[in-house]
Amino acid sequence: MAPVGDNTVALTLGPVLYNWAPERWRDFYFRIADEADVDTVCVGEVVCTKRQPLFVPYVAEVVERLAAAGKEVVLSSLALVMDRRDRQGVHALCAQDDYLVEANDISAVGLLSGRRHVIGPFVNVYNEGTLAALAARGAVRVSLTGELPAAALQALAAANLAELEVQVFGRLPLAVSARCYHARAHGRTKDSCLYVCAEDPDGMMLADLDGHAFLAVNGTQTQSHTCCNLLSELGALQAMGIGCFRLSPQSADMVAVAALVRAVAAGTVEPGAASGKLAELLDGVPFSNGFFHGAEGWAQLTAPPSAS
């Protein structure tokens, strides 16, 4: 990890949030291990516990390959714990001590208290008091929620309590529900979903009544329709003392995405040029940086909004 307050850039690849075919999931991580210029890779099912058995046969070899490639491996926990099976899974995850655990639910935070761990973006950290409480319990890195504006990020960074991470690429996680929107949209129940979410490898697009793209649905999760792109804000984040940037996996070439983020952070590629290449990789998915600038989250701004 980069020392607290150091501007050294570290890239984290967040967990795959979608229901990709198990072999595709495995091969994705194999390529990340072999080719991607990232420092940390998160592995684990965050959205739906029903998906976990699909990936179990490949988890060990994926983790071993990533570790052998020199990546820091972090095991991510569920964002919503619903029943006894979920609780048992979180307990087992938090009991192992081979790898850091990313807590995405407050129950995991409690289980990890007193040990080094990571706080994921599904645990809301909005102020210095919360950050201090989590750091005192052993959190060494906190991945902040994507809704925070620059002023809040600045305040949290100034507290200098733990390494802070900000998502700079990928659809933003907005909410997780006990109900499965994906199943309901196809006339199915959560228990008899037949894994319909696998039909949408980057989430199912939603539109408002006027037909405008609005949100994305990923099983029980609601995401932004737009793709977060903070390439132009990397310099501001580094100036705050935040040098750990999260990339959330999409179907795009994530090796190329990581290379672009690394180049912009290093100052070898201009943000505008990098964003143009990023747009080609995403094939038309709109960008957004509104939350950072204190505006609507879906907005893509070139400058902060006026006070008026």
Cβ(254)–Cβ(36) below 8 Å: yes
DSSP letter (8 states) at residue 78? P
Residue 255's closest CA among 23, 2, 19, 33? 33
Look up residue 118 and give its two tokens.
Answer: 């990571």
Asked if residue 304 is part of any domain, the answer here is no
Asked if residue 235 is part of any domain, the answer here is yes
Q: How many domains does the chain have?
A: 1
Range of the domain at 32: 10-171+224-288
CA separation (Å) from 158 to 90, 118, 166, 170? 32, 19, 15, 26
Cβ(256)–Cβ(20) below 8 Å: no
> From the DSSP assignment, how many helices (H) and strands (E) are in the chain?
10, 12
Contacts of 26 (CB under 8 A, 6+ apart): 55, 58, 61, 62
Cβ-count burial of 300 within 10 angstroms (0-12 exposed, 13-18 middle, 19+ buried)?
middle
Q: Is the pLDDT of residue 258 over 80?
A: yes
Q: Is the pLDDT of residue 307 over 90?
A: no
Look up residue 153 and give its two tokens.
Answer: 């990020």
Residue 125's closest CA among 97, 159, 168? 159
Asked if residue 39 is part of any domain, the answer here is yes
pLDDT at 305: 58
Asked if residue 5 is part of any domain, the answer here is no
Asked if residue 214 is part of any domain, the answer here is no
Alpha carbon 303 to chain centroid, angstroms: 25
Asked if residue 32 is part of any domain, the answer here is yes
Q: What is the CATH number of the domain that holds 139?
A: 3.20.20.70
Asked if residue 127 is part of any domain, the answer here is yes
Asked if residue 298 is part of any domain, the answer here is no
Q: What is the pLDDT of residues 195-237, one digit of tens each?
A: 999 999 999 999 888 888 889 999 999 999 999 999 999 999 9
pLDDT at 100: 97
Q: What is the pLDDT of residues 84-104, one digit of tens each?
A: 999 999 999 999 999 999 999
* Mean pLDDT (the chain, rounded): 93
Strands (E), the chain: 10-13, 40-43, 72-76, 100-103, 117-119, 139-143, 163-176, 204-207, 213-218, 221-229, 244-247, 287-288
Cβ-count burial of 155 within 10 angstroms (0-12 exposed, 13-18 middle, 19+ buried)?
middle
Q: Is the pLDDT of residue 8 over 90?
A: no
- Interatomic CA distance for residues 308 and 272, integer angstroms: 27
